[in-house]
Structure 1
Amino acid sequence: MLPRKVLCTLYLGCTLLLLTGCWDRVEINQRGFVVGVAIDKPEGDNGKNQYKGTYQMIVPGGLKQSSGSTTGQGNSMNPHAGQAYFNISTTENSMPAVAARIAGRTSRSPYFEHLRIIIISSDVAKNKANLPNVLDFFLRNSEMRRGVQILIADGKASDVLGIYPNNESTPIDYISSIAKNNQKTNFMLPESRIGDVHEYLIKNESFVLQTIKKEDGGVTLNGSALFDGTTKQLLGFLTGEETQGLNFITQRVKGGIIESHIDDQVVGFKVERSNRKFYVQQTSPGHMKFTIKIIVEGTLDKSITNIDPSEGKTVEALEKSLQDKLASTTNKTIKKLQHSYKKDALGLGPYLFQNHYKMWKPIAENWDNGENLFSQAEVDVQTKVIIRRIGNIFESTKEQ
């Protein structure tokens, strides 16, 4: 019989044979880092429901050169010296096939660990179930992160990846920086991340996503894209003002400005805090009356000629003007969702589900489908604006 130490050594040696090590290791200089993906419907699709995928891939050596010095236009396989990125496109029947085809056209296989933004064109998103079909590939991919941002393009998605990246190395850096500016403007939504979109798709609730549009050589992210929670298709777009109203109702406001008029002059109000509360009363089995109370606090951001904002009555008049403007904006959003689209992106259904389930259960199937009780609900908005500070000066001009 072999000694115990020898048996242990043989056992450990056999165990080592079972260790595979880094079986899937790929050297970093062999990876093609994809930072942005644009998905369009190809021209002349003829009902085939194919996808045109455009990848924005990083050229590591180009990042060492001056930032944003080149435009990276087109699908060039041989980017110019110093270019930080290039775009490459192909058309296939599915997103996995797009990735496979692009892998056969580049020297470095696509790697999605650093993917930051997926842009889906309105032509793709408006077709039934296209959104979940497109995102399925990225949700299942083990390289993918749940924080990847989703944008809906008002127009061609690939055009957005071809813009000149002002002050940035790549268009994706430029777009990502703009998308984080919701603390300065309430005319756009906060970032729509793929993990959040996945939850929307599972819950079957109508929802909105951040939208993007190529404009004047750059892009704008004002407005939002509305999706049907049942069919998962794009229904249309909300304007920047309508999105502002929606942000106040859904408590997504991080800052920004409210403008109103007093004595034919523009009043600028900088939002610092915002709070919203829902109240509901069931007046009949199929009819709901909602009260939405919105309280906003902030600072006067623009002086007004011949008006002293330090006077009590003046402050009250300013607050009343801002309250009326906020109420008008939110009511415009509610009217658009209730009567034009008949889809609840206000969060009233989820509020009933979470806080009044006995009231919600009998009407759930007919809320924004079937009898569409959402469009028949009464919604009253009550606003209150509090001016906490009037700024550092009373006036910026003086009459002679």
Structure 2
Amino acid sequence: MHPKKILCTLCLGCTLSILTGCWDRVEINQRGFVVGVAIDKPERDNSKNIYKGTYQMIVPGGLKQSSGSTTGQSNNMNPHAGQAYFNIATTENSMPAIASRISGRTSRTPYFEHLRMIIISSDVAKNKSNLPDVLDFFLRNSQMRRGVQILIADGKASDILGIFPNNESTPIDYISSIAKNNQKTNYMLPESRIGDVHEFLIKHESFVLQTIKKEDGGVTLNGSALFDGTSKQLLGFLTGEETQGLNFITKRVKGGILESNINDQIVGFKVERSNRKFYVQQTSPGHMKFTIKITAEGTLDKSITNIDPSDGKTVEALEQSLEDKLTSTTNKTIKKLQHSYKKDALGLGPYLFQDHNKMWKPLAENWETGENLFTQAQVDVQVKVIIRRIGNIFESTKE
């Protein structure tokens, strides 16, 4: 045989020997697509490292159902017949163990590449370091995406996965649609992604996450959950109004309604644009004075009896009323964070770190711990509301 042919044959043989092919291939009809995960503490078990995991898995045949009214139907022969999903739960010591245990209970191996949401109960989140312990499995999983949404349940997380999905195929679709409505309401946070939470955990910054609660057969995403940046544990919840104030301070407002009272009547102001700027002055080595300037622009969204919004002085009075209300709301949020929880979810520490690093370095170790300089800082809020338009009509009734 010609030497070149021999060499070519040897090269091909070596190439074939190192090609592994699709050795780990799993056919699509053998995959169990997990779209939602709920993490709870088992009932009557106070152990820190015991978790109850509930997976919401897709039934591909059920997705063909075009009507949302048929997703909850079943029969005695097959309880999942006609459904687009089913929930399966087990209890174990860790997230990998839960995934392994569930793999032994379902005909399709759990597959997380299409995971959209992780819901963690408040009972789990309030224990020290439980949040990073739970999320570690999902962060390390090669199938995972950084855009997976994280929610904190005010109550049992598994109950959230059991709701009836109005107008949607699955509860996860239903909840995901609600979570995107922050352009219509500023009483809830924007979506909390697992990638963002990972950054908070690494930076040791206090942070807030979206809160979800089962209510009247559905769910509500009103308010937020506050976490300590050091212990990573849930400290408590902010109300919808307090979350509204926090959203304006942290530049998270995408829209929504701001209401105030003038002449015993409710004024509705639709926010179209909002901005915020921080200013700081160091009055002494351990004392900081912050000024937060907030600007909100938008449209008058509600006609008011016996008030002519086309009059310049009336517009000024309306703007002043809205400014007073927003100032009161933001001050309420600041007071709760400074004196009740003593945690800087306002972003003042990160602002100093990024924009005034020399000023920040001597304060860093005592900002939220030690002397807790955050609680001693003076924080003043200045609000400017601009009514750009007064709507299509001046009044809806005429005496």
Q: What is the one-letter code of the residue matched to 2:167?
A: N
Give the corresponding residue for 1:99: 99
Give the corresponding residue for 1:160: 160
Secondary structure of the corresponding residue to residue 46 of structure 1 = coil
Instruction: Compute the displacement of 1:67 (Å).
Output: 3.8
Q: Take 2:67 and 2:28, find their aligned partners in 1: how far apart are those partners?
A: 22
Give the corresponding residue for 1:207: 207
Distance change >3 Å, CA 50–CA 332, structure 1 → 2 = same
Q: What is the one-letter code of the residue matched to 1:314?
A: T
Give the corresponding residue for 1:232: 232
What fraction of aligned residue pairs are identical, expressed as a percent?
A: 89
Q: Take 2:356 and 2:73, find their aligned partners in 1: how far apart are those partners?
A: 53
8 Å contact kept, 1:272–1:299: yes
Q: What is the one-letter code of the residue matched to 1:395?
A: E
Distance change >3 Å, CA 301–CA 234, structure 1 → 2 = same
Q: Take 2:71 and 2:209, find their aligned partners in 1: how far apart are those partners?
A: 27
1:192 pairs with 2:192:
yes
**Unaligned stretches of 5+ in structure 2?**
none
Q: What is the one-letter code of the residue matched to 1:343?
A: K
Give the corresponding residue for 1:37: 37
Distance change >3 Å, CA 71–CA 342, structure 1 → 2 = farther
Residue by residue over 1:247-305, the C-alpha shift from the partner in whole angstroms, topping out at 9 and shown as x without a partner, is 00000000000000111110000000000000001111110000000010000000101
Q: Take 1:189 and 1:285, find their aligned partners in 2: how far apart are those partners?
A: 34
Residue by residue over 1:139-158, the C-alpha shift from the partner in whole angstroms, topping out at 9 and shown as x without a partner, is 00001000000000000000
Q: What is the one-letter code of the residue matched to 2:53?
A: G
8 Å contact kept, 2:73–2:83: no
Give the corresponding residue for 1:120: 120
Q: Take 2:349 and 2:217, find their aligned partners in 1: how far apart are those partners?
A: 40
1:140 pairs with 2:174:
no
Give the corresponding residue for 2:394: 394
Q: Take 1:191 and 1:171, find their aligned partners in 2: how far apart are those partners?
A: 16
8 Å contact kept, 1:72–1:86: no
Aligned length: 398
Q: What is the one-letter code of the residue matched to 1:338?
A: Q
Instruction: Compute the displacement of 1:73 (Å).
Output: 10
Q: What is the one-letter code of the residue matched to 2:181?
A: N
1:269 pairs with 2:269:
yes
Secondary structure of the corresponding residue to residue 362 of structure 1 = coil
Q: Take 2:309 and 2:159, find their aligned partners in 1: how far apart are those partners?
A: 47
Q: Take 1:354 and 1:48, find their aligned partners in 2: how far apart are those partners?
A: 37
Residues 70-85 of structure 1: matches in 2 within 5 Å? 70=70, 78-85=78-85
Secondary structure of the corresponding residue to residue 89 of structure 1 = strand
1:333 pairs with 2:333:
yes
Instruction: Compute the displacement of 1:9 (Å).
Output: 2.9
Instruction: Compute the displacement of 1:45 (Å).
Output: 1.1
Instruction: Compute the displacement of 1:72 (Å).
Output: 5.3
Q: Which runs of 4+ in 1 moved over 4 A?
A: 70-74
Secondary structure of the corresponding residue to residue 186 of structure 1 = coil
Give the corresponding residue for 1:321: 321
8 Å contact kept, 1:257–1:271: yes
Instruction: Compute the displacement of 1:10 (Å).
Output: 2.8
Q: Take 1:77 and 1:316, find their aligned partners in 2: how far apart are those partners?
A: 68
Give the corresponding residue for 1:242: 242
Q: Take 2:133 and 2:25, find their aligned partners in 1: how far apart are those partners?
A: 29
Instruction: Compute the displacement of 1:44 (Å).
Output: 1.4
8 Å contact kept, 1:282–1:288: yes
Residue by residue over 1:10-51, the C-alpha shift from the partner in whole angstroms, topping out at 9 and shown as x without a partner, is 312331221011111100000000000000000111325300
Give the corresponding residue for 1:291: 291
Structure 1 range deviating more: 334-343 or 61-70: 61-70
Give the corresponding residue for 1:55: 55
Q: Take 2:386 and 2:295, find their aligned partners in 1: how far apart are those partners?
A: 8
Q: What is the one-letter code of the residue matched to 1:278?
A: F
1:303 pairs with 2:303:
yes
Q: Take 1:199 and 1:355, find their aligned partners in 2: how far apart are those partners?
A: 19
8 Å contact kept, 1:72–1:87: no
**Unaligned stretches of 5+ in structure 1?**
none
Q: Take 1:137 and 1:389, find their aligned partners in 2: how far apart are those partners?
A: 50
Instruction: Compute the displacement of 1:227 (Å).
Output: 0.1
Secondary structure of the corresponding residue to residue 289 of structure 1 = strand
Q: Take 1:293 and 1:386, find their aligned partners in 2: how far apart are those partners?
A: 14
Instruction: Compute the displacement of 1:66 (Å).
Output: 3.3
Give the corresponding residue for 1:357: 357
Give the corresponding residue for 2:370: 370
8 Å contact kept, 1:226–1:237: yes
Q: Take 1:77 and 1:363, find their aligned partners in 2: how far apart are those partners?
A: 66
Give the corresponding residue for 2:27: 27
8 Å contact kept, 2:208–2:226: yes
Residue by residue over 1:55-74, the C-alpha shift from the partner in whole angstroms, topping out at 9 and shown as x without a partner, is 00000000101343356599
Q: Take 1:67 and 1:346, find their aligned partners in 2: how far apart are those partners?
A: 44
- TM normalised by structure 2 equals 0.97
Q: Take 2:291 and 2:231, find their aligned partners in 1: how far apart are those partners?
A: 29
